Structure 1
Amino acid sequence: MAKTYKKFAHVGAVAPPDVVRAAEAAGQTGTVAANPEQYDQAYICPVTIGSQTLHLDFDTGSSDLWVFSNLMPSSEVDGQTEFNTNSAGATKKDGYTWSISYGDGSGASGVVYADTVNVGGATATSQAVEAATSVSSEFTSDTGSDGLLGLAFSSINQVKPTPQTTFFDTVKSSLEAELFTADLQSNGPGSYTFGYIDSSKYTGSITYTAVDNSQGFWGFTAGGYTVGGGGSNSTGTIGSAIADTGTSLMYLPTAAVQSYYSQVSGSSYSSSQGGYIFPCSASLPSLTVSIGGHGFVVPGSNFNYSPTGSGNTCFGGLQENTGIGFTIFGDVFLRAVYAIFDETQGSPRIGFAAQ
């Protein structure tokens, strides 16, 4: 109906009634490809901001949508697409600034604009777009990414003087369902969806568990774990964790990590590499983690992250969480599951199913 009103506007049709426009805006969905960088270290998605397409890292471990921009010094740009702050739809939010530091030491800062943001068909109008005026060298050297799209909770957004809503929080009331999903793949493109669950992406049933978002993250409780198969392998309990698409590896308590590598022939902790390594030819066991009473299996192949560049050794995709402050189920785990980040029930929950 909205299209019909607009089609005949030139011959006198009035603007669509409010109820028609509201119905048109409701129930939107979106799906976007998640393309892996080398070694699956990050997944980059095309996002339309105004009339430009930028490629952003979707990050459930932070809450800022920030981008490279034409306000940056050329020395900090290495082929990235820069958001044009002079474009017709970009409106500067005077007096607003942002600065964010990530756990790996990288960071960025800048000023804030509002613009239309379209993620695979799901559209947010007047979305806060944080235009970088400076980024750290880690982001400059990541030539495949033009910025980040945070999907944690808006409570930890870094804009001042007033935090802004994430893309998901901006659009969720207009989505067909207030949720988004991550279907990350090994060595190939996966996808994110907004507003619906794609039943073709998983097998069996979805197991949901409650989310603790008191720190702004998709936090949940993980139960026991088993290394490999059979009854002789070590088991224990993991405890509180977060699901973070913006972290490449899986970080578990020391006992779990040591149990795992005790079953990897030739593995050792390398001070020079900063973590556990093993012969690249080693046979890696699976890891089964209980969440919500259901066991999710991470295949051993997921734990071979990358060559170290030293001898024939590879760096482990499972490392200790010592000093990080969180147990993190990053992409190494998420590539084994179909993940649903769900706010349809009043209280947030997270769901996992086998891919």
Structure 2
Amino acid sequence: MVHSTATLALFSAVLGAVSAVPAPQPGRFTVNQTRNANFKRHGPAQVAKTYLKYGRPVPSELAAALGMTNAKRSKGSVVSSPQEYDSEWLTPVTIGTPAQTLNLDFDSGSSDLWVFSTDTSSRYVNGQTQYSPSKSSSASKISNAKWSIAYGDGSSSSGIVYTDVVTIGGLSVSKQAVESAQTVSSSFTQESDLDGLLGLAFSTLNTVTPTQQKTWFDNIKSSLDSPLFAVDFKAGGVPGSYDFGYIDSSKYTGSITYATVSTRQGFWEFVASGYAVGSGSFNTVVSAYWSTVSGSRNDNSAGGYTFPCSATLPDFTFGVGTARIVIPGEYINYAPYTSTTCFGGIQSSSGIGINIFGDVALKAAYVVFDTNGPRIGWASKSL
């Protein structure tokens, strides 16, 4: 998740998940995304999930829209599918000795590595793989350490903390803080294929008390050739990749343009230099985007902007310094809402207070998260 101080929300939620590719050399490695076959895109649910993630109440019209959708499911007109709230990409990560494999989300909008575990009350478990510290010879409980994350619906996830070996792409942190859930928000309980989250934001966001813990990336970055990671997401359900410790010049065109990152809130936050819709001027107001789409409307019954699925959406351009990143219009068609109406991939984030560049934007570029600076780099690529 990338944040901007400008006026835009291009959702959705987390960075996704990966499977390891053998490291070409020590200090750098690439991991490829692995798609959750159960995932089904559902626009209102993903917007609500974003509000909850950032501890904000879901807007009443969006909550009502989800209530209506749930009612339709109960009547049988829409197939009941908790996967609509799921994460699209799942991540095999190994924890402990011997290794236990759990599927985690990589999330650049948080800084906790938390998992379902044998400490998790059975009423919160719904088929997830559970980390068992008692079966790991390298696990050690941190005395008196606790963690807790509150969500906008009043729910929370919380628990105790261990240190253990955590390995991704062949590189291991021997004493990584692993936050073991005792209670879990129902939104995560519904995601039966998701075993936890791995945060990639700055460690100042970590919720462990009384002593904050470092993220896996902060612990491993000194072992990398460069203290950075880069993402190359793809559209159309095609697996993308993450590069840790290096920049792969074959994955982008032209040059990378960097923007300074503010760590004040612990996020990868930068200032976009402007926006344009279609072939309009670069300073076009973002809210004008949907006004260019015939038949689009801010639909209270859907909890956001919808449009006729037959419509051709204009491209959306945003600036990073003097560079321009173009998001193709077809990427902004997030998902069908009804048989003829689709849900937009650009939605308001006014109730969150920050603006989020999620996978809709990330799929349109090669993006570098560099802790030197810190800074974030964007480059165009072949789409």
Aligned to 1:209: 259
Q: Deviations over 1:16-67 (max 9, x none)?
A: xxxxxxxxxx952232222344357543221111201111111111100111
Paired residues, number? 306
Query: Are residues 1:120 and 2:172 paired?
Result: no
The match for 2:90 is: 44
Aligned counterpart in structure 2 of residue 265 of structure 1, from 268, 273, 294: 294
Consecutive unaligned residues of structure 2, counting only runs of 5 or more, are 1-24, 42-86
TM-score, length basis structure 2: 0.76
Cα RMSD (Å): 1.9
Deviates more, 1:137-146 or 1:33-42: 33-42
Counterpart in 2 of 1:73? 121
CA distance in 2, matches of 1:268, 1:106: 31
1:220 is matched with 270
Counterpart position of 1:110: 159
Taking a change above 3 Å as real, the CA distance of residues 104 and 291 of structure 1, as seen in their structure-2 partners, is: farther
Quote the residue 2:132 is aligned against.
Answer: 84
Aligned to 2:28: 29
Deviations 1:146-171 (A, max 9, x none): 11100110011000000000011111
Which residue in the other structure is 1:301 paired with?
Answer: 330
Gap change, CA 1:102 and 1:206, over 3 Å in 2: farther
Secondary structure of 2:187's partner?
helix
Partner of 1:5: none
* Cα separation, 1, equivalents of 2:192 and 2:335: 19
The 3 A distance-change label for structure 1 pair 304 and 106 is farther
Give the corresponding residue for 2:306. Answer: 277
2: CA distance between counterparts of 1:330 and 1:316? 13
Residue identity in the other structure for 2:179: E
**Residue 249 (structure 2) pairs with residue 191 (structure 1):** no
2:95 counterpart letter in structure 1: I
2:105 aligns with 57
Deviation at residue 74 of structure 1 after TM alignment: 2.3
Higher relative contact order (CA 8 A, sep 6+): 2
Q: Which has the larger radius of gyration?
A: 1
The amino acid that maps onto 1:56 is: L
For residues 36 and 259 of structure 1, what CA distance do their matches in structure 2 show? Answer: 34
Amino acid at match of 1:302: Y
Amino acid at match of 1:294: A
Residue 283 of structure 2: aligned partner: 236
- 1:321 matched to 2:352? The reply is no
**Partner AA of 1:126 in structure 2:** K
CA offsets 1:208-242 (integer angstroms, 9 cap, x no match) = 1111111101111101111112xxx25437xxxxx
> Would you say 1:350 and 2:376 are equivalent positions?
yes
Asked if 2 retains the 8 angstrom alpha-carbon contact of 1:228 and 1:285, the reply is yes
Q: TM-score normalized by structure 1?
A: 0.82
Partners of 1:121 and 1:158 lie apart in 2 by: 27
**Deviates further, 73-82 or 97-106:** 97-106
Distance, in Å, in 2 between the alignment partners of 1:105 and 1:36 is 30
SS in 1 for 2:292: coil
C-alpha distance in structure 1 between counterparts of 2:371 and 2:121, whole Å = 40
The match for 1:243 is none
SS of match in other structure, 1:203: coil
State how 1:131-142 maps to structure 2 within 5 Å: 131-142=180-191
Distance 2:224 2:110 in 1: 21
